[in-house]
Amino acid sequence: MFSMAIRSDFVKILLTGGAGFIGSAVARKAISMGYDIVNVDCLTYAANLKNIQSIEDSQNYKFEKTDICNSEEIRAIFDRHQPDFVMHLAAESHVDRSIENPETFIQTNVVGTYRLLEESRLYWGKLSGNKKQSFRFHHVSTDEVYGDLEVNDPAFEETTAYSPSSPYSASKAASDHLVRAWGRTFELPVILSNCSNNYGSHQFPEKFIPTIILKALHKEQIPVYGKGENIRDWLHVDDHADALLTVLKKGVPGETYNIGGNNELTNIGLVKIICRLMDIKVPNNEPYENLISYVTDRPGHDMRYAVNASKIATELGWEPKVDGKAGFSKTIDWYVDNQEWWKPLVRQGAFGQRHGAIKSTS
Ligand code: NAD
């Protein structure tokens, strides 16, 4: 259905969600590689303009504060910037929030993706020649769409049937289906990638690894769902950014690529690794592990996610580079050294009700 086209190395990417955790890592990396970036982000609670401070003065960087659900504004952005590629990361991304308030997940992840697809189709339909041939719509998704694995099940492959469990993963699964349908029905050159759990700098404090680090730094109880036996595959965000730019450049339209870190850990195992690293980096009078507190499990909590990322390795030559322990160590250092980044968020109650607000931010 699709053919590969030759693409120039330096191109303009319309990046959605570029003020969030992963989007800002992509923006920083892409700018350093000479790409032009048009960052479309409506700046929800999860966004932070400090994430893109280092590139905001670059001539190659433009920011458009816009909701992806606003078709008229998105159309004007396409007209104004004439991008070569779309890389779509804007989403509501926190499972706990999707359980508390699913509506915004349906709106942004499903309706927003639909509107972006329609505007991309309109724009692409008017292109011609090489610009039309080389256009790509790259949809960034999650391994959570595949559902739940038992401990000894084989890892998710690109062909694994979808079986999402949470409102978040169901909304992402719906968006993946829309993207594939726009590829198949309208021949929009779409590419999908489904990635495992990310970690690294600039991740919003409510997510698992920042919660462990910040609760430990404040010597407050570190909440672990259930018995902490759930297993996740962890990938450093810089590796994900590298994988996404590889997929955009070399990926074949119509294809899906699983991205993973080959780094499966139980939640409790991960908490202990971080606590032990912190015992060395930020010595306390007792081991940080003593702060671990088991809390009521999340409803519908998937037991295990594991990603088989051999397709992207064989076909596109991408593999993760950041070693797990070194990546966790670097992440702890970042949160210790960048307190001015997270303190205002913690003061605003970035942990929500579920994990209890941090009591002191001094
Ligand atoms: P994030 O919550 O940190 O950032 C999301 C960004 O999207 C924010 O800057 C936010 O302002 C923006 N946004 C939200 N709704 C918007 C809207 N309606 N219009 C415009 N902008 C909007 O998320 P993240 O962790 O960086 O995840 C980015 C993408 O990667 C998501 O699509 C997510 O599903 C996917 N993903 C995340 C992980 C992970 O571990 N974090 C793993 C696999 C896939």
pLDDT digits 0-9 by tens, 127-171: 999 999 999 999 999 999 999 999 999 999 999 999 999 999 999
Using pLDDT thresholds of 50, 70 and 90, give the confidence band for residue 9: low
Nearest atom in ligand 1 to the alpha carbon of residue 18 is: 9
User: Whose CA is closest to atom 44 on ligand 1?
Assistant: 142
Q: Given 143, 220, 242, 264, which residue is catalytic?
A: 143
> Quick check: is 143 catalytic?
yes
Say yes or no: CB of residue 210 within 6 Å of ligand 1: no
Say yes or no: CB of residue 83 within 6 Å of ligand 1: no
Q: How does pLDDT run across 301-326, given as a tens digit for each residue?
A: 889 999 999 999 999 999 999 999 99
Nearest atom in ligand 1 to the alpha carbon of residue 44 is: 11
> Quick check: is 41 catalytic?
no
How many Å apart are CA 328 and CA 317, to the nearest integer?
25
Instruction: Share the mean pLDDT of the chain.
Output: 94
Say yes or no: CB of residue 22 within 6 Å of ligand 1: yes
Would you say residue 7 has pLDDT above 70? no
Quote the DSSP letter at residue 257: E
Say yes or no: CB of residue 90 within 6 Å of ligand 1: yes
Q: Given 168, 225, 288, 335, which residue is catalytic?
A: 168
Q: How does pLDDT run across 268-290, given as a tens digit for each residue?
A: 999 999 999 999 999 999 999 99
Tokens for 188, please give them.
């929009």
Residue with tokens 């596109």: 316
Q: How does pLDDT run across 159-204, given as a tens digit for each residue?
A: 999 999 999 999 999 999 999 999 999 999 999 999 999 999 999 9
* Residues 254/183, Cβ–Cβ less than 8 Å: yes
pLDDT recorded at residue 297:
87
What spacing in Å lies between the alpha carbon of 140 and ligand 1's midpoint? 9
What spacing in Å lies between the alpha carbon of 9 and ligand 1's midpoint? 26
Ligand 1 pocket test, pick from 21, 73, 197, 208 with the greatest ligand atom count within 8 Å of Cβ, gives 21
Residues of the chain by 3-state class (helix, strand, coil), percent to 5: 45, 15, 40
How many Å apart are CA 2 and CA 20, to the nearest integer?
32
Using pLDDT thresholds of 50, 70 and 90, give the confidence band for residue 361: very low
How many Å apart are CA 12 and CA 62, to the nearest integer?
10
What spacing in Å lies between the alpha carbon of 135 and ligand 1's midpoint? 22
pLDDT recorded at residue 349:
79
How many Å apart are CA 244 and CA 238, to the nearest integer?
10
Using pLDDT thresholds of 50, 70 and 90, give the confidence band for residue 57: very high
pLDDT recorded at residue 103:
98
Using pLDDT thresholds of 50, 70 and 90, give the confidence band for residue 356: low
* Residues 262/233, Cβ–Cβ less than 8 Å: yes
Q: Given 144, 239, 242, 264, which residue is catalytic?
A: 144
What spacing in Å lies between the alpha carbon of 186 and ligand 1's midpoint? 26
Answer whether 0.75 is exceeded by the pTM.
yes
Would you say residue 264 has pLDDT above 70? yes
What spacing in Å lies between the alpha carbon of 62 and ligand 1's midpoint? 19
How many Å apart are CA 33 and CA 361, to the nearest integer?
37
Q: How does pLDDT run across 216-237, given as a tens digit for each residue?
A: 999 999 999 999 999 999 999 9
pLDDT recorded at residue 352:
57
Q: Which residues pair with 259 in a beta bridge?
A: 195
- % the chain with pLDDT above 90: 91
> Quick check: is 45 catalytic?
no
Say yes or no: CB of residue 19 within 6 Å of ligand 1: yes
Ligand 1 pocket test, pick from 43, 44, 114, 169 with the greatest ligand atom count within 8 Å of Cβ, gives 44
User: Whose CA is closest to atom 19 on ligand 1?
Assistant: 67
Say yes or no: CB of residue 21 within 6 Å of ligand 1: yes
Would you say residue 42 has pLDDT above 50? yes
pLDDT recorded at residue 357:
61
Would you say residue 351 has pLDDT above 80? no
What's the burial of 361, exposed, middle or buried (CB within 10 Å: 0-12/13-18/19+)?
Answer: middle
pLDDT recorded at residue 2:
41
